[in-house]
Structure 1
Amino acid sequence: MNAPVIRRLNAADASFAQELDALLAWESVSDPGVQSRVEEILSAVKARGDDAVLEFTARFDRLEPSSMAGLELSQSDMQSALDSLPKVQRDALETAAARVRRYHERQVQPSWSYEEDDGTLLGQQVTAMDRVGLYVPGGKAAYPSSVLMNAIPAKVAGVGEIIMVVPTPGGERNQLVLAAAALAGVDRVFTIGGAQAVAALAYGTASVPKVDKIVGPGNIYVATAKRAVYGTVGIDMIAGPSEILVICDGQTDPDWIAMDLFSQAEHDEQAQPILISQDAAFLEQVQQSIAKLLPTMERKDIIQTSLQDRAAFILVDSLEQACEVSNRIAPEHLELSVEDPQALLSQIRHAGAIFMGRYTAEALGDYCAGPNHVLPTSGTARFSSPLGVYDFQKRSSLIMFSEDGASEVGKVASVLARGEYLTAHARSAEYRIKD
């Protein structure tokens, strides 16, 4: 296998901004054919409920249960999956779950209020969502880590019920996924997938309860369906391909950096690995490491396509300029593989997760570091944050005026309302103004 020669960009070139834009360009969910099929599935499930879900499950997953009861797993099924794991796997899963739970418990925000001098009370009441749906890919493409990262923050937030959907094509169940569901406290599991599962969660059926929000990764049909039902329910995000950006000062082992780039490239042919350095010789060393290590990888074909189509090495004149380029990219995962990463931290404004130091591989964050691995992609880290407890809670404003407060603030409201020619607003406030 001939390793791809990674595209080279130089931040000093006049054409750099244009070349970077071309590198980063990615079309999100927009396939007209997929859109049409998803709309048909959503409409059918909305109109026919369980019957449509059973029909699509038989067509797409090669399962033909006589009723939805045959597509729901019990708590004992999940617990049995956990109990049947080899000890080394169970220990790893339990350790990861504990770390994720401990980190997210620190995100919990209480309700708050304060009282003004005249007795007026203002504040915010924080409440959890009643019910959340969790989509989990099924079959061989199964990710127990995603179950932990989505379900545990919801439970920590206080969500009353988590409904998990996971397809089992041909009846193939992933025991690690079910074990993770048991550890994370998932309440109900349906072995359904695709747009029909999203529709069932969004609209509700006789068997699948309607949820308030749908989270979790999926293929283009799932992503398109989530976008379509947004507004009926909340969603986490429309995620693009995985991304990693490494800023390196040239002093880290180039094999380590090559493998860090591989770690995201192996997800998907559209994944984007980028390396930035001020050391041109180091970039060449990483190229040589790629050539050496790529033939050893199980998913080498996927990695190769990702590298040749979407990867880049960017030469900069300083680590400060590297941070400027990174902020322009706003990566999902950012590794600061430098001697003093904390010295650069104040210069980083946009990144989903920041991995600091030579020993902090992004892969640790995918599984067991503790922070969430559900992160903004495609530059959305400019305005979005990692999934967290706050995504499963709502905030209600608290307003209670005293008699004196209503009178004084009512005068202000009256002036502003009449300035907007909203007389009823003005008079509503004026009724409460004391003579």
Structure 2
Amino acid sequence: MPDTTSPHRTAPINPDRLQGMMEAISTFGGGPDGSMNRLTLSEEDGRARDWLGSWFKANGFVQAVDAIGNQFGSMALAGANAPVVMVGSHIDSQPNGGRFDGPLGVIAACEAILAVSERLKAENRLSACNFKVVNWTNEEGARFQPSLLGSSVFSGAADLDWALDRVDGDGISVRDALDAIGYAGQDKVAIPDALIELHIEGDVWLDRADETFGIFTRFWGATKYRLAFLGRQAHTGATPMADRKDALLGAAYLMADLKELAGYYGLELHTSVGRLEVFPNSPNTVPSEAVLFIELRSSSPEILAQAEETMLQKVKEAAERAGIGYEVRSIDRRKAGSFSKGLIALAETAAAAYGQTSRHLDTIGGHDSVAMSAVCPAVVLAVRSQNGVIHHPTEFTTPQDQAFGTQVLADMLYALACDGVDTVQLSEAAE
């Protein structure tokens, strides 16, 4: 933990309070091996949301929940018409995921705003802005697709009714899942004047360099396909090999082609099939349908476009080779871009006050701040992940690194509270 008695402007956080909150929220869906199973809008998610709402009430925050289930906690430290700085992340997880991806950003937001409130109260100072914690719905996209669903609706990039009609693998809609846990809200929440998100890096750069803190300055674009190969169901024993129309075989051909495709572009393209749904999924039945969840990711729009064109040709070839058909079920696109130059500079200043560097990083994975960057200045701060692990039970960020990231966040909010958002060139994107 940095020395917060230094003369620079700081709003000292309480590391013990931070860890206590992290331990509390980890009980909802957490396993003894460090795993987290808190899929969005599940019973575990509902209980975690209830805990967060209780914490809001106990600590002077006013809760609001909008129609897509985004959960907000507001602390009014300025006038009713003052600018609003939103801070937070998400608490939903991947199946068998880790405990820090997402929840750290929400809990850090709670602690940082509380620390700023305590510092302002001690100084008898009125803030220049109000603050709002956010817990976004369905950031992970593990249960409902696409990911970043809550922030996409909030930012206007996705239609509310369309989002509410998304269904999971069991046919349960977002609408029904929200009703089931009591988070089908009706509150209207305005777009903030700025958004700051703290997140684990989920990569190896900070850990390898033995550095604590980084800033995501750019985000990669992504093209996501849900594509179905269509064959014919048959007996694996009685049906001659030459007569089979095996949908899963076509999927296997394409998956190998996608791995090879990534190699053409070196480090500039990531490809994956992270989910495969096979029907009827019986050991002695030739599959009639194989649905692939395909991702292409790159920082270059040109590479993404080229990769998509090549992929579609490979889909056609794989289908022809397996003697089957195919159809595209859905396409989701996310543009590459940059975060707020002013918020990046503010984070650098806060970290430098403790003698810490701020490594500039690209985020290849999506964050809600990516969706929100189209409608307000936004940035994602990063603290190191041990061995770069993410989406796995061994995902880990030390309490010391958690505290440092939260302290930088608090000091950024304190600077905005003292000087106002107008003093920072928030709207300029990083180059």
Instruction: Please give the range of the TM-score, normalised by the shorter of the 2 chains.
Output: under 0.3
**Which TM-score applies when normalising by structure 1?**
0.25
| Higher relative contact order, structure no. (Cα contacts within 8 Å, ≥ 6 residues apart) | 2
More strand by share: 2
More helix by share: 1
**Which TM-score applies when normalising by structure 2?**
0.25
Q: Which has the larger radius of gyration?
A: 1
